[in-house]
A and B are shown apart, each in its own frame.
Chain A
Amino acid sequence: MTSGNGTGPKIDVQNLNAWFRNNHALRGVSLSVPANTVLAIIGPSGCGKSTFVRCINRMHELVPGARQSGHILVDGTDLHARGVDPVDLRRRVGMVFQRANPFPTMSIVDNVVAGLKLNGIGGNHAELAETSLQQAALWDEVKDRLHHSALSLSGGQQQRLCIARALAVGPEVLLMDEPASALDPIATAKIEELIRELREQLTIIIVTHNMQQAARVSDATAFFYMGELVEHGATEQIFTNPKETRTEDYVTGKFG
């Protein structure tokens, strides 16, 4: 499938519910994300933000005791439709985690192409690694030490390495679960700039605790609270003129 079929949204979530055993983590969430836009998801800790993105690449169901109901459509196809392989899906819907998690036993360059190498996919790995590292704005910093351990990089560099690794698989959607929460302001700025550039090619959903960050990088923002989607709209509207008082209280810092 190619990115966007011209008509419907890239991602369409319909009445999504998710549970961890008896904990009802997501309650009837419905929203859609057009192709080549950035959706920011904000909300206090434990409101279901991470669970939401982890449903979109079917990582949620790997947790023991996890269940879900409702539908998620990517390019109009239900993720749980017959014949949809979660492994294939995760190549189309990439993910960057809160804490940088490069493979400690691999070099920088091997980390970037890990998605291909581990799956035994051939091709010009060196060239792909360079392109991906350039996309992740890391190439200039690591081009002279591509074969060093990935752990020799700083935290911010490791996180961009993880972004490069996700990009190398060629995803159409990128899920980012608080990608900058463990980084310093300079590294954060780099990641944010990267998100704005990547929007040209990808659809991005970013979970963030940082409201300024949501305002800076996203086209639309969704506010989650206690597992419910409270409000979803254009980022500017959410931050300047929210319809719900709970959203207003949260974005103005009255709670959360």
Chain B
Amino acid sequence: MQRRRAVNAVMTGLCALGLALALVPLVSVLWLVLSRGISALDLDFFTALPSPVGEPGGGVGNAIAGTFYIVGIACAIGVPLGVGAGVYLAERGSGRVGDVIRFTAEVLSGVPSIIVGIVAYGLVVLPMQRFSALAGGVALAVLMVPTLARSTEELVRLVPGALREASLALGVPEWRTSLRVILRTALGGIMTAVLLAVARAAGETAPLLFTSLNNQYWNWRADQPTASITVQIYNYAVSPYENWHDKAWAAALVLLLLVGVLSLAARLLTRQRFGAQR
């Protein structure tokens, strides 16, 4: 009895220690980014263009807008493809074709993002002869598709078969049933999956380095190089200027906030969905 309690206490203690150790890097990252980044952060930082070396002020407004722009392009390409593939896998993917697609998606989701960047470079940048927001969007879309497809598949499979039967028994064709009943019912979860995919894509640097490159100015043209927060952080961080290092920290904080807000929104959406079911 005494021994069992002692073992129990020791084990609980070890688990708590493991948790504490796992939290150390997370907390230190958050603390470091917050403490170093907050000083350079002001309203201008969100709205202004980057300033030249040595000049005070300036911001990463164009990079924030650029990240939204590139991720927006990625969503426009990747969400229909990923969700469509997921619905196909769930509804028709029981045969050999489905297995091949599933395997491909699995392999693709394990491909390092820089390789996806090279592919986008070859597919979009070389033929167009210039770096562009479109190329960046394509690279991020390729990264989004496999995870979106797999999570959509899981979510669609969760929709009760009784709803499919109800729709079919009303004389609704299968494709309409898939789109307007099954997909509609799974939509809350799919939105969450999309938000998480967006958050992940927004944090990518490697595939953007040689696709959308960078831009010192505002840009709204898909065929022009475009700034992004991640590439901006990279450029600031590798520069030799102390003043730019501060900006890199501040931009990192902005990116963390952005990704944090997206993940939180995804969480809230999920909770709302489960709340509604009760």
Interface residues in chain A, defined as those with a beta carbon under 8 Å from any beta carbon in chain B: 57, 59, 62, 64, 87-91, 94-95, 97, 99, 101-105, 114-115, 118-119, 149, 151, 162, 165-166, 169
Contact = CB atoms under 8 A, between A and B. Distances in A.
A91 B171 CA distance: 5
B166 to A, nearest CB: 4
Contacts of B177: 118
A118 B180 contact: yes
Contacts of A91: 170-171
B256 interface: no
Given A103-B185, A105-B185, A118-B181, A90 B170 contact: yes
Contact of B171 (A103, A104, A115, A162): A115
A115 B173 CA distance: 10
Interface size class for chain B? 20 to 34
Contacts of A89: 171
Contacts of A59: 165, 168-169
A156 B128 CA distance: 63
A114 B163 contact: no
Q: From DSSP, what is the main secondary structure of chain B's interface residues?
A: helix
B165 A114 contact: no
A95 B181 CA distance: 17
A102 B166 CA distance: 8
Contact of A95 (B169, B184, B277): B169
Nearest to B172: A118
Contacts, number: 68
Interface centre among B166, B170, B180 (most CB of A within 10 A): B170
B215 interface: no
A146 B194 CA distance: 32
Interface string B166-208: 1111111100110011001101000000000000000000000
A162 B167 CA distance: 11
B169 A114 contact: no
Nearest to B179: A118
29 contacts: A59-B169, A62-B168, A64-B94, A87-B172, A88-B171, A89-B171, A90-B168, A90-B169, A90-B170, A91-B171, A94-B169, A94-B170, A95-B169, A97-B162, A97-B166, A97-B169, A101-B162, A101-B166, A103-B163, A103-B166, A103-B167, A115-B172, A118-B167, A118-B180, A119-B172, A119-B173, A149-B276, A165-B166, A166-B170
B177 to A, nearest CB: 8
A118 B176 contact: yes
A166 B167 contact: no
Given A59-B165, A118-B176, A119-B176, A105 B171 contact: no
B160 interface: yes
B170 to A, nearest CB: 4
A97 B277 CA distance: 21
Contacts of A103: 163, 166-167, 181, 185
A114 B185 CA distance: 14
Interface string B63-83: 000000000000000000000
A88 B168 CA distance: 11
Given A88-B171, A118-B172, A162 B166 contact: yes
B173 A99 contact: no
Q: Quick one: which of A87, A89, A99, A169 has the most chain B CB within 10 A?
A: A87
A166 B169 contact: yes
B186 to A, nearest CB: 10
A210 B167 CA distance: 27
A97 B165 contact: yes
Contacts of B172: 87, 114-115, 118-119
Contacts of A151: 277
Given A104-B277, A118-B181, A87 B173 contact: yes
Contacts of B181: 103, 118
Contacts of B277: 104, 151
Contacts of B180: 118
A97 B165 CA distance: 9
Closest 6 CB pairs of A and B: A91-B171, A115-B170, A101-B162, A95-B169, A90-B171, A101-B166
A157 B176 CA distance: 26
A165 B165 contact: no
Contacts of A95: 169
